[in-house]
Structures are given as structure tokens and as C-alpha cells.
Structure 1
């Protein structure tokens, strides 16, 4: 194959590793014109003279403008003729085309690694204009191995007397007992209300896992939550209600509170009504209404707050009141199932306002852009990502 001087120079630069982006594109286009043929030439690799001469291609092409592929062939045959018997000349002539093919194969591998491979990765990047709310179904897993998909349109779930919807339609016929445990997993973009066997009500936010018995034991009411949930506990002074979440234990007899454990590094419990005792890592505190407990780095702390800032989600709203941008976007990411990526150091920004969570993501972002924040929405390898800059 005859090569132009431009292509020869590109090959030299490729092997030396100093191709510019423009040159990479030019060499990539040339390679695409004729795909390299992969040939297994174990016999060739044993011929040290040929391999050495193959490496001399680059230096030979600098001597003059004559086609260096032809000159290499001439030089190689002369070398072989001087050192070996004539019977081997035909064998070497037969192998010369394969030597060139081997060179192409090695070169193609280098180009794939440094030029084509990054381009293939970029092909998985899709720019999105909007994200509608996910339409995934809430799932219940029972300890007997059964998996049940819930109808999101039917709303609340009632546990007493078996699994059923609030309208009375039966989901799963079960014999109430203390051994059967249910684990509910809510997908992004949805909330679910559950009435437990004792009459307590639990509202689960998106991407939350909630584990509970279909029938409480006489001497214990214990559940587990990972994500975010709002509790309205039925009063029973004899049998306290306990919630396990992210290394802490909450104990109540009758009250309303919100638990948020989305972040494993920092979880919060906000009390709306009644009182609760909260313990973690040997520490214990008692909360009164309008107080919030935080577990961070293994330590418990408490402060006074406005509960409305933390429970607006149960009315399907984003509520921001001097909310820092990172916290606000974490909340939005949970709801729309997004990975949040910060393109650079974002300046300290606080948000104010109330947004319905039924809106499309583009509508929500348009509101946030008023704070001089820029967004790029993409999908990469099946993951939706929101890139943030200002």
C-alpha cells in the first residue's frame, strides 16, 4: 500500500505520542478507510531481522521522498540474501505483506486506545431536555419470599388483617402473625402512605425502604426505615413504638415526627408533636415539639427549627427557606432520580420558595436559574446526571 507523506508523518507522530487533536482526527479518518487485517504471524515474530527492519520504517522514510515501504522491502531482501541460503528468499517475500499487516494491527491498537476509545465513551452521553417523573411501581417483599408490585394509582396501603388498599381491595391474603415481615421500597418520584396494624400511619418519601411486621407482637412495636418517613404514632403507653434508622433508635408512645436518613453521614429527626427519646452510640436526648436531633460523625445534637421546612414533602412540595444549594439539589435529585455533579466550586447560594413536586424537572430548573445557577442535563451509561455550574 502506498502512503502519502502526510499520513507517514502522522504515523511517526502517533508512535512518538505527540499527535495534536487535529492530527488524531486525520489519522483516525485514514484508518477508517481500510480496516486492518489481524493475522497471527508467530513465524514472523521469530525472524529478528524482519522485526528489526520493520522498526526501521520510521528512520528510512526521512532519507528521501521515495516510497519507504518499497525501500524497506528491498533492503530486507538484500539483508536476507547476504546472510541466508537462496531457498529462504521466497519465504521472506511471502511474509513481507504480513509484516506490513502486523504493523497496521499494532498501530490500530494504539489508535483505538488513544483516539477511538474515548470517542466511543462519548457516544454514551446523551443530552436531555427534560425528565418526567418516573413511573415505577412500589414494591413489597415479604419474609416468606413473595414479591408484590403495588398499583400506585390506588394510594394508601393498610396492613391490618392482611395487605390491602385503603379502598378495601385485597393485595395479599395472609394470616396475621408476628413472624411475617414486609419490606416496602418506594421508587423515585412517588410517596406512599401505610396504616400499620396498630393504627399508626407512616408516609414514605421517594427512594425509601421501610421494614415492618404485618402484625405487631403484644409487647413490641418495632420498625426500620432507610430514607425519609413521616410518622403519626397511635398512642399506647404500655407498648412504646420504636424506629431503628441509620444507627439510632427512636422511642415514642404517641407523637408525630419526621426521620431523614438519606445521607449516611448525617441524619435528622424533627419532632412536630408529642415527645420522643432518641439514642445513638451510648448518647441519649429528649426532643420537644419544634426541635430537631442530628446524628453526625457519631455524635447527637439538637436545635430548635420550624418543622414546616422539613415536612413540606408530605404535601408533595419542595420547600426552600434559606436552604443551601447543595441541600436543595440533593432533595431534587432524590425525587427525580438524578446524580448531582458540580462542575466547579459553586459559590454559596441560598434558595427560597415553594415548588410543586408534580412539575417536570425543566420547570423546576427554570425557577432555580433565577438564582444565577446553570444546569446541564445528560444521560451517561444509563445514569441521569445534572451538571451544576455558575
Structure 2
């Protein structure tokens, strides 16, 4: 599987920022942690000759892996580490595991699995939890509901002159009505869904999210209401502006692709503009910017983001680890894996970077957390998290 263009650019941007001295604290910590382990290796190895070229090997493998399809990667990178003492070898493998997280290709994850071995604090297979998947519930205008993931292809509902059609794992609308009636699509934790609104605009719903919309946009404006996280690709119409309401907040499209993260358990609502123009509570945004609004506030703070594609990683099948807050990352994990989180003690104040495949089991995510000094164990469907 060849990494996508946006993903390759993301990986290379981190390396270039570090080299130019412009990396974030989390990115610096990420790069230097494995460099430190290599320095320790050189200072304490029983075989200096074997360790002297390891740093160059890792750098070469990192750059090669970014550009190579999974099927062409070597089966056993860094075989020199196998000649080193066990404790030193595991420190180097921990660093290599962090690089594997950065690469984020599904085929690269074996690197981390080989590195950790059977004695690592990971979940037993019988206690593992599968990732989320596609699924949603359609709430019809008459109050009835339909589980979309179990419905077959074709017409799944008829409301007057309007048909709801399921096709290729998503729904779309056929026909129009002059009546002011609404539908709503909701996703539970561990579910996501894609759909096309009656005006042709594309919508992606992340886990624990919803969108409410009319069967036909008949007014001067096209207005929808959402909760949770939703990505939009809007069909622009100057004569009928498209607006998204999130509680008291309003995002107005001006020909746009954008992502809104507005979960009730998050301290701020984040709107990230991928392309086009939008207004958030009247504040104009440009591509590559993110608007943040605190809970109970209306004032908008707009900042340039290094990688706007990170906000839409989830619709590309990736679970972004990009966060300066461990509890925010844990909430994201809880929503996708439909689990509860329990925190024991004080968690480390550290930043996280990288992405992993969104379709991996929970045990693989736990392996990722261990690289950053976080322990986790699963009891029923509760993930208990603590510092190492």
C-alpha cells in the first residue's frame, strides 16, 4: 500500500522542520528520544563496531520507508541490533517503534510488533477490542428509525415524493418536497458514516456525531445542525448560502471543504478549513487555518495550522495521535473503540505526534502509547491508563 500524497508530505514536513529548527516540542521530543537512545547505545554497547552505523541505518530506512510501497520493504530492518545486548537492543527498538508510528502505514506496524515482543504490556488476543466501523441510524420525518448499516442497497425509505437510497455504503436523496420536514443521521461510539445531502453536498460523520437537515432546501439558506465531528464538502450556491449550526455557533460556507470538531466533552470547538473560504461566527477563514471557540464563548481565535490534513485524517482511514494533551487523545480513542477511560494517578505532560491505521485493534494503540511513557490495561470495556 503506497502512502497517500498528503501523508508523505506530512511525514517529510516533520523531518524538515526538525532539521530547520522549527519543530514543535512534541516533534523535537519524538526525534531526539530515539537519537538519545542511539547515543546511549554508542556509550554502553559491548560492540561499538556494530552500533556505529546504526544511526545511519535508521535514517536511511526511515526515508526509504516513506517512499516505498509496503510490499517492497525489507522483512527485517536493522538486523545489526540483534547482535547487541538485550537491554540496549530494546531501547533502540523502542526508538524504531516511534519511527514506525510516524510512518503510519498499516504494513509498517509489524515493525512495532517485532520490537515489543511477547513480554510487552499489550492486550491478550482474547481481551482485544476491534476498531469501529461504518454504521449509523437514520431518523425519519415520521419519527421512525432505520439502522443503515444493516439495510440493503436500493431504496430504504420513502417520505412523500422523496426517496432515500443506499448505494456503495452511503445514502443519498432523490426527489423534492415543498414541505418543511427533517431527517437526522446519528452515529454511536465506534461508528462512522458517509452521506450526500439533498443538495449534493458530501458529509462524513465521525463516531458519536449527528446531522439534522431538511428533505429539501427550500429557503433562502441551506441550514443543517450538527453535533460531534463532521467533515463537509459543500456544493456552493451563491444564491442559497450553506450554514452549519453547532449550538449557538454558525459556520457559513463560501465554496468549501472543512472539518468541524464540536464534541460536548471537548473544551473548544475546532473548525479546520481545507479549501475555499468560510466564516465562523462572522470571522473569515482562509485555507490552512483553524478557528477555535471555547465552551460558552462566541469569540473566535484563528491560527494557521502546520498540517490541516491532520484534521481530516479520520476520513482517510487514519487515527491521528497529534495532540498536546493526553486526555484529549484518550477521548478520541474512547469514541472510536467504544470504550470507557479510567485514569489512575498523574499522567505525563507530553505531546504526541504521528498517525496509525484507524483499522488496527486496540492493543496496537496501546503499543503506541507505551512509546510515550503511558501504561494501559483493559478491564471489560474500560481502559485503565497510568504513567509508567
Shorter-chain TM-score bucket reads 0.5 to 0.7
Q: 1:367 corresponds to which residue? A: 368
Supply the distance in 2 between the matched residues of 1:169 and 1:333 (Cα, whole angstroms).
24
Distance, in Å, in 1 between the alignment partners of 2:228 and 2:338 is 14
**Which residue is equivalent to 1:129?**
127
Per the alignment, residue 122 of structure 1 pairs with: none
Distance of aligned partners of 1:170 and 1:258 in 2 relative to their CA distance in 1, 3 Å threshold: closer
Q: CA deviation at 1:133?
A: 3.2
Q: How does 1:265-304 map to 2 (within 5 A)?
A: 265-279=267-281, 284-297=282-295, 298=297, 299-304=299-304
Equivalent residue runs for 1:330-349 within 5 Å: 330-349=331-350
C-alpha separation between the residues in 1 aligned to 2:184 and 2:226?
A: 10
Assess if the C-alpha contact under 8 Å between 1:155 and 1:192 holds in 2.
no
Q: Secondary structure at the match of 2:353?
A: strand
- Cα offset, 1:367, TM superposition: 2.1
Please give the TM-score of this superposition, normalised by the length of structure 1.
0.60
Alignment of 1:344-359 (within 5 A): 344-359=345-360
Residue 137 of structure 1 deviates from its aligned partner by: 4.4
Residues 46-61 of structure 1: pairs in structure 2 closer than 5 A: none
Tell me which residue corresponds to 1:162.
163
Match of 1:387 among 375, 384, 388: 384
134-143 or 223-232, larger mean C-alpha shift: 134-143
Whether the 8 Å CA contact 1:226–1:261 is kept in 2: the answer is yes
Q: Relative contact order (alpha carbons < 8 A, sep ≥ 6): 1 or 2 greater?
A: 2
Quote the Cα distance in structure 1 between the aligned partners of 2:154 and 2:274. 22
**Structure 1 unmatched ranges of 5 or more:** 1-127
What is the Cα deviation at residue 359 of structure 1? 1.0
Number of equivalences = 256
Q: Distance in 1 between matches of 2:370 and 2:345?
A: 17
Deviations 1:4-58 (A, max 9, x none): xxxxxxxxxxxxxxxxxxxxxxxxxxxxxxxxxxxxxxxxxxxxxxxxxxxxxxx
In the alignment, is the contact (CA less than 8 A) between 1:163 and 1:174 conserved in 2? no
- 2:325, 2:349 within 8 Å by CA — same for their partners in 1? yes
Q: Distance in 2 between matches of 1:156 and 1:322?
A: 41
In 2, Cα distance between the equivalents of 1:229 and 1:155? 24
Instruction: Tell me which residue corresponds to 2:142.
Output: 144
Residue 325, structure 1, aligned to residue 331, structure 2: no
Deviation track 1:165-191 (CA, whole Å, cap 9, x = no partner) reads 125999999863442211111122222
With normalisation by structure 2, the TM-score equals 0.60
Task: Report matched runs for 1:141-220 at 5 Å.
Answer: 141-151=139-149, 161-167=162-168, 176-220=177-221
Do the aligned residues in 1 keep the contact of 2:172 with 2:198 (CA within 8 Å)?
no
CA distance in 2, matches of 1:157, 1:204: 21
**Deviation for aligned residue 1:161:** 4.5
Unaligned 5+ runs, structure 2 = 1-125
Partner in structure 1 of residue 222 of structure 2: 221
* Structure 1 residue 157 displacement after superposition: 10
8 Å contact kept, 1:155–1:193:
no
Which secondary structure does the structure 2 equivalent of 1:199 belong to? coil
Structure 1 window deviating more from structure 2 (223-232 vs 252-261): it is 252-261
**CA offsets per residue over residues 76-131 of structure 1, 9 Å max, x none?**
xxxxxxxxxxxxxxxxxxxxxxxxxxxxxxxxxxxxxxxxxxxxxxxxxxxx8221
Question: Which protein has the larger Cα radius of gyration, Structure 1 or Structure 2?
Answer: 1
